Structure 1
Amino acid sequence: MQALSQHLAQTLKALRAQRQWSLTQAAEHSGVSKAMLGQIERGESSPTVATLWKIATGFAVPFSLFITPPEAAREVVHYREGERPPFHQQNAQMQVRSLADFDALLGLDLLEITFSANAFSASAPHAPGVTEHVIVITGTLEVQVAQRWHQLRQGEVLRFNADVPHAYRNSSGQPTLIHNLIHYPRAG
Protein backbone atom coordinates (compact mmCIF):
# COMPACT_ATOMS: atom_id res chain seq x y z
CA MET A 1 0.00 0.00 0.00
CA GLN A 2 2.94 2.33 0.70
CA ALA A 3 4.21 1.99 -2.88
CA LEU A 4 0.74 2.80 -4.23
CA SER A 5 0.45 5.86 -1.99
CA GLN A 6 3.89 7.02 -3.18
CA HIS A 7 2.91 6.45 -6.84
CA LEU A 8 -0.30 8.44 -6.32
CA ALA A 9 1.61 11.31 -4.70
CA GLN A 10 4.24 11.41 -7.45
CA THR A 11 1.62 11.22 -10.21
CA LEU A 12 -0.40 14.09 -8.78
CA LYS A 13 2.73 16.24 -8.35
CA ALA A 14 3.87 15.46 -11.91
CA LEU A 15 0.47 16.34 -13.39
CA ARG A 16 0.40 19.66 -11.55
CA ALA A 17 3.96 20.42 -12.70
CA GLN A 18 3.12 19.56 -16.34
CA ARG A 19 0.20 21.97 -16.27
CA GLN A 20 2.00 24.50 -14.06
CA TRP A 21 -0.99 24.50 -11.70
CA SER A 22 -0.87 25.62 -8.12
CA LEU A 23 -2.75 23.54 -5.53
CA THR A 24 -5.49 26.19 -5.73
CA GLN A 25 -5.81 25.74 -9.51
CA ALA A 26 -5.84 21.94 -9.16
CA ALA A 27 -8.58 22.25 -6.54
CA GLU A 28 -10.64 24.48 -8.85
CA HIS A 29 -10.36 22.03 -11.76
CA SER A 30 -10.99 18.86 -9.74
CA GLY A 31 -13.45 19.96 -7.09
CA VAL A 32 -11.17 18.42 -4.45
CA SER A 33 -10.01 20.72 -1.67
CA LYS A 34 -6.56 22.25 -1.74
CA ALA A 35 -5.89 20.72 1.70
CA MET A 36 -6.81 17.21 0.52
CA LEU A 37 -4.68 17.53 -2.62
CA GLY A 38 -1.73 18.63 -0.48
CA GLN A 39 -2.23 15.68 1.88
CA ILE A 40 -2.31 13.26 -1.06
CA GLU A 41 0.89 14.75 -2.51
CA ARG A 42 2.62 14.36 0.86
CA GLY A 43 1.36 10.78 1.23
CA GLU A 44 -0.61 11.75 4.35
CA SER A 45 -4.05 10.80 3.04
CA SER A 46 -5.53 7.84 1.23
CA PRO A 47 -8.33 9.21 -0.97
CA THR A 48 -11.55 7.43 -1.80
CA VAL A 49 -12.24 6.12 -5.28
CA ALA A 50 -14.74 8.97 -5.74
CA THR A 51 -12.03 11.52 -4.87
CA LEU A 52 -9.59 9.93 -7.30
CA TRP A 53 -12.24 10.09 -10.03
CA LYS A 54 -12.71 13.81 -9.38
CA ILE A 55 -8.97 14.35 -9.65
CA ALA A 56 -8.71 12.26 -12.83
CA THR A 57 -11.62 14.16 -14.38
CA GLY A 58 -10.18 17.54 -13.36
CA PHE A 59 -6.84 16.67 -14.96
CA ALA A 60 -8.49 14.92 -17.95
CA VAL A 61 -6.50 11.70 -17.43
CA PRO A 62 -7.58 8.06 -17.09
CA PHE A 63 -8.41 6.81 -13.60
CA SER A 64 -5.92 3.93 -13.82
CA LEU A 65 -3.03 6.40 -14.09
CA PHE A 66 -3.34 6.96 -10.34
CA ILE A 67 -3.44 3.32 -9.26
CA THR A 68 -1.02 1.61 -11.67
CA PRO A 69 2.38 2.81 -12.86
CA PRO A 70 2.47 2.68 -16.69
CA GLU A 71 4.57 -0.01 -18.32
CA ALA A 72 6.69 0.20 -21.45
CA ALA A 73 4.76 -0.42 -24.67
CA ARG A 74 4.97 -4.01 -25.93
CA GLU A 75 3.23 -5.86 -28.76
CA VAL A 76 2.04 -8.68 -26.51
CA VAL A 77 1.33 -8.18 -22.83
CA HIS A 78 0.42 -10.98 -20.42
CA TYR A 79 -1.00 -9.80 -17.09
CA ARG A 80 -0.93 -12.39 -14.32
CA GLU A 81 -3.19 -12.72 -11.29
CA GLY A 82 -1.78 -10.84 -8.32
CA GLU A 83 0.77 -8.75 -10.26
CA ARG A 84 -1.21 -5.57 -9.82
CA PRO A 85 -2.12 -4.58 -6.27
CA PRO A 86 -5.66 -3.36 -5.67
CA PHE A 87 -6.41 0.15 -4.46
CA HIS A 88 -8.38 -0.08 -1.19
CA GLN A 89 -10.55 2.67 0.19
CA GLN A 90 -10.07 3.40 3.88
CA ASN A 91 -13.71 2.53 4.56
CA ALA A 92 -13.18 -0.88 2.82
CA GLN A 93 -16.44 -0.60 0.84
CA MET A 94 -14.64 -1.21 -2.43
CA GLN A 95 -11.30 -2.06 -3.93
CA VAL A 96 -10.18 -1.31 -7.48
CA ARG A 97 -7.50 -3.01 -9.54
CA SER A 98 -6.38 -2.06 -13.02
CA LEU A 99 -6.54 -5.23 -15.14
CA ALA A 100 -4.52 -3.74 -18.00
CA ASP A 101 -2.66 -0.54 -18.74
CA PHE A 102 -4.63 2.35 -20.15
CA ASP A 103 -4.82 2.01 -23.94
CA ALA A 104 -4.28 5.54 -25.25
CA LEU A 105 -4.98 4.56 -28.87
CA LEU A 106 -8.42 3.19 -28.03
CA GLY A 107 -9.01 5.39 -24.97
CA LEU A 108 -9.80 2.38 -22.74
CA ASP A 109 -9.35 1.55 -19.08
CA LEU A 110 -10.20 -1.94 -17.81
CA LEU A 111 -10.77 -2.16 -14.07
CA GLU A 112 -11.77 -4.91 -11.66
CA ILE A 113 -13.89 -3.60 -8.79
CA THR A 114 -14.99 -5.51 -5.72
CA PHE A 115 -17.86 -4.03 -3.71
CA SER A 116 -18.13 -5.32 -0.14
CA ALA A 117 -21.47 -6.48 1.23
CA ASN A 118 -23.92 -3.55 1.52
CA ALA A 119 -21.46 -1.14 -0.13
CA PHE A 120 -22.51 2.15 -1.72
CA SER A 121 -20.43 4.46 -3.89
CA ALA A 122 -21.61 7.68 -5.56
CA SER A 123 -19.72 9.12 -8.49
CA ALA A 124 -19.66 12.66 -9.78
CA PRO A 125 -20.03 13.06 -13.54
CA HIS A 126 -16.90 12.17 -15.51
CA ALA A 127 -15.66 14.26 -18.43
CA PRO A 128 -18.06 14.75 -21.36
CA GLY A 129 -18.21 11.71 -23.62
CA VAL A 130 -16.87 9.16 -21.09
CA THR A 131 -18.82 5.88 -21.19
CA GLU A 132 -18.75 2.92 -18.84
CA HIS A 133 -19.54 -0.74 -19.37
CA VAL A 134 -20.27 -2.53 -16.08
CA ILE A 135 -20.00 -6.33 -16.34
CA VAL A 136 -21.08 -8.30 -13.27
CA ILE A 137 -18.75 -11.27 -12.75
CA THR A 138 -20.15 -12.52 -9.43
CA GLY A 139 -23.00 -11.31 -7.25
CA THR A 140 -25.51 -8.58 -7.98
CA LEU A 141 -25.16 -4.83 -8.34
CA GLU A 142 -27.50 -1.89 -8.66
CA VAL A 143 -26.30 1.02 -10.78
CA GLN A 144 -28.02 4.40 -10.69
CA VAL A 145 -27.75 6.53 -13.81
CA ALA A 146 -29.57 9.86 -13.97
CA GLN A 147 -31.86 9.03 -11.01
CA ARG A 148 -32.86 5.55 -12.32
CA TRP A 149 -31.65 2.33 -10.69
CA HIS A 150 -30.73 -0.69 -12.84
CA GLN A 151 -30.50 -4.16 -11.23
CA LEU A 152 -27.67 -6.32 -12.65
CA ARG A 153 -27.03 -10.00 -12.03
CA GLN A 154 -24.04 -12.20 -12.80
CA GLY A 155 -23.24 -12.11 -16.53
CA GLU A 156 -25.24 -8.95 -17.22
CA VAL A 157 -23.79 -5.76 -18.71
CA LEU A 158 -24.87 -2.14 -18.40
CA ARG A 159 -23.46 0.52 -20.74
CA PHE A 160 -24.08 4.17 -19.91
CA ASN A 161 -22.80 7.68 -20.47
CA ALA A 162 -20.78 8.41 -17.35
CA ASP A 163 -20.81 12.17 -17.77
CA VAL A 164 -23.85 12.33 -15.48
CA PRO A 165 -24.07 11.59 -11.74
CA HIS A 166 -24.14 7.84 -11.12
CA ALA A 167 -23.88 5.44 -8.19
CA TYR A 168 -23.26 1.80 -7.38
CA ARG A 169 -24.98 -0.22 -4.63
CA ASN A 170 -24.45 -3.78 -3.50
CA SER A 171 -27.52 -4.47 -1.38
CA SER A 172 -26.61 -8.11 -0.81
CA GLY A 173 -24.80 -9.63 2.13
CA GLN A 174 -22.06 -10.97 -0.18
CA PRO A 175 -19.26 -9.19 -2.08
CA THR A 176 -19.85 -8.34 -5.74
CA LEU A 177 -17.12 -8.47 -8.37
CA ILE A 178 -17.41 -6.47 -11.59
CA HIS A 179 -15.26 -5.52 -14.54
CA ASN A 180 -15.59 -1.90 -15.58
CA LEU A 181 -14.57 -0.98 -19.12
CA ILE A 182 -14.26 2.80 -19.40
CA HIS A 183 -13.95 4.63 -22.70
CA TYR A 184 -12.51 8.14 -22.75
CA PRO A 185 -13.09 10.18 -25.93
CA ARG A 186 -10.04 11.42 -27.76
CA ALA A 187 -8.94 14.87 -26.80
CA GLY A 188 -9.19 17.42 -29.30
Structure 2
Amino acid sequence: MASSANRRTAPAPAQAGSVAALAPPRVGEHIQRLRMERKLTLDDLSRAAGVSKSMLSEIERDKANPTIAVAWRLTNALGVSLDQLFAAQRAPETIAVSGPHEIPTLDGHEAKYQLRVWGPIELAGKFEWYELTLQPGGALTSNAHEPGTREHLTVLAGSIEIESAGETKRLKLADTARYQADVPHAIRNAGKAEAKALLVVIHG
Protein backbone atom coordinates (compact mmCIF):
# COMPACT_ATOMS: atom_id res chain seq x y z
CA MET A 1 0.00 0.00 0.00
CA ALA A 2 1.42 3.33 -1.00
CA SER A 3 2.29 5.72 1.78
CA SER A 4 0.46 9.04 2.02
CA ALA A 5 3.70 10.81 1.04
CA ASN A 6 3.63 9.11 -2.37
CA ARG A 7 -0.01 9.80 -3.11
CA ARG A 8 -0.68 12.38 -5.83
CA THR A 9 -3.26 14.98 -5.05
CA ALA A 10 -5.51 16.26 -7.81
CA PRO A 11 -4.86 19.88 -8.74
CA ALA A 12 -7.19 22.35 -7.10
CA PRO A 13 -9.86 23.85 -9.35
CA ALA A 14 -8.91 27.16 -10.97
CA GLN A 15 -10.01 30.16 -8.97
CA ALA A 16 -12.25 32.79 -10.50
CA GLY A 17 -9.38 35.27 -10.39
CA SER A 18 -7.23 32.99 -12.58
CA VAL A 19 -9.95 32.78 -15.24
CA ALA A 20 -10.31 36.56 -15.24
CA ALA A 21 -6.56 36.93 -15.66
CA LEU A 22 -6.80 34.89 -18.87
CA ALA A 23 -9.62 37.00 -20.33
CA PRO A 24 -8.79 38.74 -23.62
CA PRO A 25 -7.60 42.35 -23.33
CA ARG A 26 -10.22 45.09 -23.70
CA VAL A 27 -8.90 47.10 -26.64
CA GLY A 28 -12.07 48.97 -27.62
CA GLU A 29 -11.28 52.16 -25.68
CA HIS A 30 -7.76 52.21 -27.13
CA ILE A 31 -9.06 51.85 -30.70
CA GLN A 32 -11.62 54.61 -30.14
CA ARG A 33 -8.95 56.95 -28.72
CA LEU A 34 -6.63 56.32 -31.68
CA ARG A 35 -9.50 56.91 -34.12
CA MET A 36 -10.47 60.21 -32.48
CA GLU A 37 -6.86 61.40 -32.35
CA ARG A 38 -6.79 60.98 -36.13
CA LYS A 39 -10.14 62.79 -36.48
CA LEU A 40 -11.69 59.74 -38.14
CA THR A 41 -15.39 58.92 -37.96
CA LEU A 42 -16.64 55.36 -37.49
CA ASP A 43 -17.42 55.37 -41.23
CA ASP A 44 -13.89 56.54 -42.09
CA LEU A 45 -12.18 53.79 -40.08
CA SER A 46 -14.71 51.19 -41.22
CA ARG A 47 -13.90 51.90 -44.88
CA ALA A 48 -10.13 52.18 -44.33
CA ALA A 49 -9.92 48.88 -42.41
CA GLY A 50 -12.56 46.92 -44.31
CA VAL A 51 -14.44 46.24 -41.06
CA SER A 52 -18.20 46.76 -40.85
CA LYS A 53 -19.36 49.85 -38.96
CA SER A 54 -21.57 47.75 -36.67
CA MET A 55 -18.65 45.46 -35.74
CA LEU A 56 -16.36 48.44 -35.16
CA SER A 57 -18.96 50.04 -32.89
CA GLU A 58 -19.26 46.80 -30.88
CA ILE A 59 -15.47 46.59 -30.54
CA GLU A 60 -15.11 50.21 -29.40
CA ARG A 61 -17.80 49.70 -26.74
CA ASP A 62 -16.01 46.52 -25.59
CA LYS A 63 -19.08 44.49 -26.49
CA ALA A 64 -16.88 42.31 -28.70
CA ASN A 65 -13.17 41.53 -28.94
CA PRO A 66 -11.64 41.61 -32.44
CA THR A 67 -10.08 38.54 -34.00
CA ILE A 68 -6.39 38.80 -34.86
CA ALA A 69 -7.33 39.35 -38.53
CA VAL A 70 -9.70 42.21 -37.66
CA ALA A 71 -7.22 43.72 -35.19
CA TRP A 72 -4.51 43.57 -37.87
CA ARG A 73 -6.73 45.46 -40.33
CA LEU A 74 -7.60 48.08 -37.72
CA THR A 75 -3.99 48.63 -36.63
CA ASN A 76 -2.88 49.02 -40.25
CA ALA A 77 -5.59 51.62 -40.84
CA LEU A 78 -4.65 53.45 -37.62
CA GLY A 79 -0.90 53.27 -38.23
CA VAL A 80 0.05 51.28 -35.13
CA SER A 81 1.36 47.76 -34.59
CA LEU A 82 -0.52 44.85 -33.03
CA ASP A 83 1.99 44.92 -30.15
CA GLN A 84 1.07 48.52 -29.42
CA LEU A 85 -2.63 47.71 -29.45
CA PHE A 86 -2.47 44.74 -27.09
CA ALA A 87 0.46 45.74 -24.87
CA ALA A 88 -0.22 46.53 -21.22
CA GLN A 89 0.40 50.11 -20.14
CA ARG A 90 4.06 50.58 -19.34
CA ALA A 91 6.12 53.46 -18.01
CA PRO A 92 7.26 55.71 -20.87
CA GLU A 93 10.62 54.77 -22.38
CA THR A 94 13.47 57.24 -22.18
CA ILE A 95 14.33 56.47 -25.80
CA ALA A 96 11.49 54.99 -27.89
CA VAL A 97 12.61 53.38 -31.15
CA SER A 98 10.28 52.48 -34.04
CA GLY A 99 11.40 49.98 -36.65
CA PRO A 100 10.72 50.48 -40.39
CA HIS A 101 7.74 48.09 -40.25
CA GLU A 102 6.09 50.32 -37.61
CA ILE A 103 6.04 53.41 -39.83
CA PRO A 104 2.62 53.77 -41.52
CA THR A 105 2.67 54.32 -45.28
CA LEU A 106 -0.04 55.94 -47.41
CA ASP A 107 -0.05 55.08 -51.10
CA GLY A 108 -1.74 57.11 -53.82
CA HIS A 109 -1.42 54.58 -56.65
CA GLU A 110 -3.19 56.58 -59.35
CA ALA A 111 -1.52 59.80 -58.24
CA LYS A 112 1.87 58.02 -58.13
CA TYR A 113 2.90 59.12 -54.66
CA GLN A 114 3.83 57.51 -51.35
CA LEU A 115 3.79 59.17 -47.92
CA ARG A 116 5.70 57.61 -45.02
CA VAL A 117 4.35 59.03 -41.76
CA TRP A 118 7.36 59.79 -39.60
CA GLY A 119 5.57 61.96 -37.02
CA PRO A 120 4.30 60.36 -33.77
CA ILE A 121 0.60 59.68 -33.26
CA GLU A 122 0.21 62.17 -30.41
CA LEU A 123 1.22 65.10 -32.65
CA ALA A 124 -1.21 64.26 -35.47
CA GLY A 125 -3.26 67.32 -36.40
CA LYS A 126 -0.70 69.64 -34.80
CA PHE A 127 2.77 69.00 -36.17
CA GLU A 128 3.42 66.27 -38.74
CA TRP A 129 6.31 65.20 -40.92
CA TYR A 130 6.49 62.82 -43.82
CA GLU A 131 8.82 61.33 -46.38
CA LEU A 132 7.15 62.00 -49.73
CA THR A 133 8.11 59.96 -52.79
CA LEU A 134 6.76 60.98 -56.20
CA GLN A 135 7.08 58.87 -59.32
CA PRO A 136 7.49 60.67 -62.70
CA GLY A 137 4.20 62.40 -63.38
CA GLY A 138 3.15 61.96 -59.75
CA ALA A 139 1.44 64.62 -57.67
CA LEU A 140 0.09 65.12 -54.16
CA THR A 141 -2.79 67.59 -54.35
CA SER A 142 -4.52 68.81 -51.19
CA ASN A 143 -7.54 70.84 -50.22
CA ALA A 144 -7.10 73.76 -47.84
CA HIS A 145 -6.11 72.78 -44.30
CA GLU A 146 -7.08 74.74 -41.16
CA PRO A 147 -6.50 78.52 -41.28
CA GLY A 148 -2.88 79.38 -40.55
CA THR A 149 -1.48 75.98 -41.60
CA ARG A 150 1.87 76.07 -43.38
CA GLU A 151 3.99 73.40 -45.05
CA HIS A 152 7.77 73.19 -45.32
CA LEU A 153 9.22 70.95 -48.01
CA THR A 154 12.89 70.09 -48.61
CA VAL A 155 13.88 68.22 -51.79
CA LEU A 156 15.96 65.11 -51.04
CA ALA A 157 16.13 63.75 -54.61
CA GLY A 158 15.01 64.86 -58.07
CA SER A 159 13.11 68.09 -58.71
CA ILE A 160 9.72 69.18 -57.41
CA GLU A 161 7.15 71.83 -58.30
CA ILE A 162 5.08 73.54 -55.59
CA GLU A 163 1.80 75.32 -56.30
CA SER A 164 0.09 77.41 -53.60
CA ALA A 165 -2.07 80.56 -53.54
CA GLY A 166 -1.87 80.97 -57.31
CA GLU A 167 1.94 80.83 -57.41
CA THR A 168 4.16 78.02 -58.73
CA LYS A 169 7.83 77.45 -57.88
CA ARG A 170 10.22 74.74 -59.10
CA LEU A 171 12.71 73.32 -56.61
CA LYS A 172 15.93 71.43 -57.19
CA LEU A 173 17.89 69.10 -54.91
CA ALA A 174 18.34 70.53 -51.36
CA ASP A 175 15.98 73.50 -51.98
CA THR A 176 13.37 74.21 -49.29
CA ALA A 177 9.96 75.79 -49.91
CA ARG A 178 7.74 77.25 -47.18
CA TYR A 179 4.18 78.04 -48.21
CA GLN A 180 0.54 78.45 -47.25
CA ALA A 181 -1.38 75.22 -46.81
CA ASP A 182 -4.70 76.81 -45.77
CA VAL A 183 -5.49 77.14 -49.49
CA PRO A 184 -5.64 74.40 -52.14
CA HIS A 185 -2.05 73.39 -52.93
CA ALA A 186 -0.10 70.79 -54.87
CA ILE A 187 3.31 69.08 -54.87
CA ARG A 188 4.37 67.62 -58.23
CA ASN A 189 7.33 65.72 -59.62
CA ALA A 190 8.82 68.17 -62.09
CA GLY A 191 11.39 65.76 -63.56
CA LYS A 192 11.70 62.43 -65.36
CA ALA A 193 13.13 60.49 -62.40
CA GLU A 194 11.74 59.62 -58.97
CA ALA A 195 11.60 62.60 -56.61
CA LYS A 196 11.77 62.50 -52.83
CA ALA A 197 11.19 65.17 -50.17
CA LEU A 198 10.84 65.80 -46.46
CA LEU A 199 7.41 67.38 -45.86
CA VAL A 200 6.64 69.13 -42.56
CA VAL A 201 3.09 70.31 -41.82
CA ILE A 202 2.46 72.81 -39.00
CA HIS A 203 -1.26 73.15 -38.43
CA GLY A 204 -2.83 76.48 -37.65
1:142 to 1:39, Cα distance in 2 relative to 1, 3 A: same
Give the whole-Å Cα distance in 1 for the aligned partners of 2:107 and 2:51. Answer: 15
Give the whole-Å Cα distance in 2 for the aligned partners of 1:183 and 1:154. Answer: 22
Determine the structure 2 residue equivalent to 1:58: none
1:164 to 180, 183, 195: 183
Determine the structure 1 residue equivalent to 2:141: 122
Deviating more after overlay: 162-171 vs 90-99: 90-99
Query: Residue 132 of structure 1 contacts residue 183 of structure 1 at CA under 8 Å; is this kept in 2?
Result: yes
Deviation, 1:12, is 11
Instruction: After TM superposition, list the pairs within 5 Å mapping 1:73-112 onto structure 2.
Output: 74-81=93-100, 83-91=102-110, 93-102=112-121, 104=123, 107-112=126-131
Ranges of 4+ aligned residues in structure 1 off by more than 6 Å: 10-13
Give the whole-Å Cα distance in 1 for the aligned partners of 2:158 and 2:33. Answer: 34
Query: Residue 80 of structure 2 contacts residue 102 of structure 2 at CA under 8 Å; is this kept in 1?
Result: no
Give the percent of matched residue pairs that are identical in Structure 1 and Structure 2.
20
**TM-score, normalised on structure 1?**
0.60
Instruction: After TM superposition, list the pairs within 5 Å mapping 1:16-165 onto structure 2.
Output: 39-40=47-48, 42=50, 68-69=79-80, 74-81=93-100, 83-91=102-110, 93-102=112-121, 104=123, 107-165=126-184
Q: Report how many aligned residue pairs link the two structures.
A: 142
Deviation, 1:147, is 1.3
The structure that has the greater radius of gyration is 2
Residue 176, structure 1, aligned to residue 195, structure 2? yes
Q: Structure 2: state its 5+ residue gaps.
A: 1-30, 53-76, 85-89
Give the whole-Å Cα distance in 2 for the aligned partners of 1:38 and 1:125. Answer: 25
Q: Structure 1: state its 5+ residue gaps.
A: 1-9, 24-35, 45-65
1:108 to 1:149, Cα distance in 2 relative to 1, 3 A: same
**TM-score, normalised on structure 2?**
0.56
